């Protein structure tokens, strides 16, 4: 079984003066602005690292939710942030890290079992598998 999801980007003119628009097949994003100023200068709009972070956070949250349910934990709540680090790399830039920060409420689980299940979800979510950057996980389990 294969599932193909699409996104598109348009950018013009070229270089720092350019402005882009990104859209997703689902319509969740429609012509969302991005460019040099949204990536490096905190102007309104999105950027590739933020989009990657949203993909990683949502993928991990879903993978962990399913893993916890498979282990018999049905009640809980997961909040995940992904802090994606972009660093200068020669003449360009590289994404070097995606730090997953998890705040969880899971009824009836102990810290050791939670850490094991969360670590497995971190390693096995499809977005984690595609990234070559360091992927870390910091969590808080609230009881």
Alpha helices in the chain (DSSP H): 36-40, 48-70, 111-124, 126-130
pTM equals 0.89
- Contact 100/124 with Cβ under 8 angstroms? no
Each residue's pLDDT tens digit, 16-67: 899 999 999 999 999 999 999 999 998 899 999 999 999 999 999 999 999 9
Strand partners, 88: 93
pLDDT value for 118: 97
User: How far are the Cα atoms of 10, 22, 132 from residue 42, in angstroms, in the given order?
Assistant: 20, 17, 26
């Amino acid at each position: 079984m294969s599932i193909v999801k699409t996104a598109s980007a348009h950018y013009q003119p070229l270089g720092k003066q350019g402005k882009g628009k990104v859209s997703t097949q689902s319509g969740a994003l429609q012509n969302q602005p991005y460019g040099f100023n949204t990536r490096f200068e905190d102007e309104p709009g999105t950027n590739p690292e933020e989009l990657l972070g949203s993909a990683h956070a949502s993928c991990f949250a879903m993978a962990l939710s399913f893993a916890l349910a498979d282990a018999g934990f049905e009640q809980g709540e997961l909040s995940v942030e992904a802090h994606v680090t972009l660093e200068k790399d020669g003449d360009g830039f590289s994404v070097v890290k995606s730090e997953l920060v998890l705040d969880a409420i899971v009824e009836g689980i102990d810290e050791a079992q939670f850490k094991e299940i969360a670590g497995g979800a971190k390693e096995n979510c499809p977005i984690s598998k595609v990234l070559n950057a360091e992927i870390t996980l910091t969590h808080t389990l609230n009881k």
